[in-house]
A and B are shown apart, each in its own frame.
Chain A
Amino acid sequence: DAMVIQNPRYQVTQFGKPVTLSCSQTLNHNVMYWYQQKSSQAPKLLFHYYDKDFNNEADTPDNFQSRRPNTSFCFLDIRSPGLGDAAMYLCATSRDLGGPQHFGDGTRLSIL
């Protein structure tokens, strides 16, 4: 049974058109993460939530925002997608910071 679910699996949007990616978890983990991954590279952490506390990475562009309305759900909002934002976006959870992470299967975002 999938424990970290990302929707949609594939998303196509237009240059500059806002898009929202979603992630849900059934693990009741405290921490939820969003990563950006480009072809054959390691995932790059954008931000994470520890419970309701939001933690942004220093080099994450302002164009990327996140919301965590409850324990189970977390959203990634890209306000004005550029061509360089085309990538796989991975959501992950862990019980605590530093603990093993459980990843979803990702959303592949394409920008037209």
Chain B
Amino acid sequence: TQLLEQSPQFLSIQEGENLTVYCNSSSVFSSLQWYRQEPGEGPVLLVTVVTGGEVKKLKRLTFQFGDARKDSSLHITAAQPGDTGLYLCAGATGSEKLVFGKGTKLTVNP
């Protein structure tokens, strides 16, 4: 059974601070996806990373896929209250269904 360990589980920070969320596994994934879910809504795809060592930027969000394609990180610079939500990583192995991490609940206080 493939597992994705996501940390931290909860994170509460002040507006303007930086943060990093980690997603780790002993399994190799063909791609890894990050989602954000706001209260009362469904998760929304933020990014997909497919190449080992790949770095993608989405405004203040930086996503990195590990060289061995077993881990990923999400870094947010100068967090804002609008970044509040549940962040989920999900790994794909070819034609298999996604494996989700347990999520990181981020609260950014004004």
Contacts and interface: CB of A to CB of B under 8 A. Distances in A.
Interface of A: 4, 33, 40-43, 45, 48, 90, 92, 96-106
Contacts of A106: 40-42
Nearest to B41: A105
A98 B103 contact: no
Interface residues of B, number: 26
Contacts of A101: 33, 43, 45, 90, 98
B102 A98 contact: no
Contacts of B25: none
12 contacts: A40-B86, A40-B105, A41-B103, A45-B97, A45-B100, A92-B42, A100-B45, A101-B33, A103-B35, A104-B42, A105-B42, A106-B42
Chain A contact residues: over half helix, strand or loop, or mixed? Answer: loop
Interface of B: 30-31, 33, 35, 40-45, 48, 86, 88, 90, 92-98, 100-103, 105
Contact of B96 (A40, A98, A100): A98
A94 B81 CA distance: 30
